[in-house]
Structure 1
Amino acid sequence: MERGKARGGSSAAPRSVDVARLAGVSQKTVSRVLNDEPYVSTDVRRRVLEAAEELGYRRNNAARALASGRTRSIGVVTLGTALYGPASLLMGVERVVRDTGYALRVVNTMEGDPAGLAGAVSSLLDQGVDGIVISEPIDDEQSGDETLRVDVPVLVLGAPPPVTAPTVLTAGDGADLMARAATEHLLELGHATVHHLAGPQRWYAARDRQEGWRATLTDHGRDVPQVVEGDWSAASGYRAGRELAGDGDLTAVFAANDDMAIGLIRALTEAGRRVPEDVSVVGFDDIPVAGYVTPPLTTVRQPFDSVAQEGLKRLVHAIENPTADALPSSGPVVDLVVRASTAPPAIRKTPAHRRSTASRSQGDAPGPHL
């Protein structure tokens, strides 16, 4: 029998009644199986699913929406950017949503957008989405402290904006704990303190990582050096590296993302400061090239796929079980990937040697390309 045709040979799209006839069950049983309802035997469920697969039957989600009052769609608000972290998180959400049976509707915001987060959420609510994912990594200056009011469940990835909803779930937080792990790794190697190359402070993630770094140094009674701020790019890391290379006491740097760490290493190398012999460097994200630069970069790996998977599972549960308790969160995962860019500090240099190093840092001697 040709896939997609009922037994009578008709070329019309198969219906649930055709699935029921082939599986030898009632149409109501087909509906219960395809809606994943309980109290259906394993054998009956198998027969129905095999019949649906043989006939090429697809559920009519529009009809289901009319019957259930739900559109079977999830909206996502995300910053329109090609940066690795936000883009990877959105890809993880897209992969997971495909497996839930829900459609995905994405609204991108831009920095400086007058409508901002509130406008994006309003647009999704106008489309009748059943739940919303907010993956907005920056402050929405237009909304200030105004609370967003949403009448569907909300999943926030990262730091939550002020929002009220029937259910507000969070996932993907814990950047401060990851920053602590990076900073503690450097202290455990024997470094007296750790400098920080921060991301732009309008970003929640940049603030969280800076706070984790600062709190770790304070807890250990170490000096807290002045922060150097970048813009997430390798170019800003390079500029910061040119600035930091002249500090002869510098032995360790925690960069808020891998791109800035790579630019930093390039500048240090050009200035005659070897990594890790003279300066250890830790990044954040574990971008695909992190293990292939020179030297391979020690970094904190972000679990984008697992964050998306757990978060969407909890959101769908809240949508489909509005009176039930929220599913518990497993909490943040800290995964420090140790490579060759970190090592114990070298024997402390003499003042004369530090002056010599600082002098060399002002030159333009070429160094190896990363």
Structure 2
Amino acid sequence: MKEEKLLAVLRLQRCKAIGDILAKKLIVNVGDVEQVFKEKPAILQKINGIGSHALSHLFDVKNIELATQELSYIKENNIAYSYFLDDDYPINLQHCIDAPILFFKDGNINFSNKKIISIVGTRNMSSYGRDFCKSLIDELAVYNPLIVSGFAYGVDICAHKAAVKNKLQTIAVLAHGFDQIYPKVHKKYIHQLNENGGFLTEFWHDEAPLRENFLKRNRIVAGISNATIIIESAEKGGSLVTADIANSYDRDVFAVPGRITDVYSKGCNNLIKNNKAYLLSSPKDIIRMLNWDLQKKAIPVQKQLFHDLNENEQKVYDLLREKGQLLVDVISLECNIPIFQLSSILLQMELKGVLKPLPGKMFALV
């Protein structure tokens, strides 16, 4: 990515009054992130969700200075990053409307793995939870899954270490910038994780591990994965937030049951009782529910070819064939078709039996 474009992305990311959803809407409507800052405010204000408050923050000159400083840090330290419209942006996160427009990464991360699971839970892990976590990853290792967690005490670090032990790729999603590490006692694991995966964060290099950052990063933990597993949790906790987010993304959630008298099983038991998670008692539950055995035995099927598509329909078809499921906003941007035109095109393609709508304004080929 050119420096000018990256600077524009950083400026947009820095604007506190504009979150990731609104940022994507701006980019899609004007056609390019650099154009966002060249467009007339009167034009931008016509975009749904953009008010005078957001506009005043968008053109705040302080953001230019701060973004320039962050750009210098990225260049000087050779920091890798992924933009939400780049080919290397994780496909699972592309399906999440509130996923970050930009995140930073370190290590040897390969997002092409189709079997990605997040494992989270309490920091006050019991021996029961620790044994289950280790055994689960040991037995799933033959399927070579990518293990995601948050690098925190308890379940998180147990999952990372078990993945490293089994030579599986593992990703730690951080709630702070790369200029520090939390908790500091886990600094000794950095090299191991970088060799077997790495670290990911949406926060700028000097961002501290604030409480709200932990809650914010949970959407990445849930969104980057095909399924989220809760090993142990009290009646309230961050891992339950992650489970709720995963459910909102229509991802599978699993919870390990425990005795009703155990404090750190109450959260899992409640998830199962309220039908917010599948009961997880064995690795076989994961394999069966996620169809991992079927994926290994799958035989390629020749896709039906459609010959009655017009030029714009063919653009959409080719994009979905290449990328898989995509948000309507992403389709609009990639195909350079305005939303108001694209809605009609998608409807016609649905009537022709070419594609199907999915929850969350997603579309996929049949």
TM-score under structure 2 length normalisation: 0.24
Give the number of the structure whose alpha-carbon radius of gyration is greater: 1
